[in-house]
Amino acid sequence: MPAAVRDAIVRHARLEAPRECCGFLIGRRGRVQFALPTKNVARQPTVRYEIDSWEHVRLRRWLRRFQPPLEILGVYHSHPNGKAFPSEADRAEANYPRWLFVIAGGPGRRTVVRSFRIVRGLVRRVGWAGV
């Protein structure tokens, strides 16, 4: 994952704190190239994140217009006062086994960013080189 993508995620997390931020990871051929921020529409945005389903559909349609097409490779979100590790809710709601789940955890300058694959509730940490 490019450093610019990681830095964009950290900036978004810090900007939205104490709310959880969220967004899509965009790229092609398994390589993340962009972090696309989205609005967190969760009812409790300080402890959960939710991306609007229509925004997800519109984004997929828009990405198909590129040649070669870009694709959603995953999502990111923050745990402003927690660890960079998937919560129980994150594991339960991970419906895309091929997606990368990136979490920015911790307050302020101590933000840690980690990436995971979540399949059927099972979490496996993925290093940046594997992204």
pLDDT tens sequence across 62-78: 999 999 989 999 999 99
At 113 the pLDDT is 95
Inter-residue long-range contacts of 85-92, CB under 8 Å, 24+ positions, other chains counted: 85/114, 85/116, 85/123, 86/116, 86/118, 86/123, 89/48, 90/118, 91/118, 91/121, 91/122, 91/123, 92/121
The domain in which residue 72 lies consists of: 3-130
CA gap 34, 13 in Å, rounded: 15
Summary mean pLDDT of the chain = 92
- In this prediction the pTM is 0.92
pLDDT tens sequence across 95-105: 999 999 999 99
Considering its fold, how many domains does the chain have in total? 1
20 given a catalytic annotation = yes
> Pick the catalytic residue: 16, 20, 55, 93?
20
Mean pLDDT computed over 32-43: 96
CATH number assigned to the domain comprising residue 44: 3.40.140.10
- The band of 128, judged by pLDDT with boundaries at 50, 70 and 90, is low
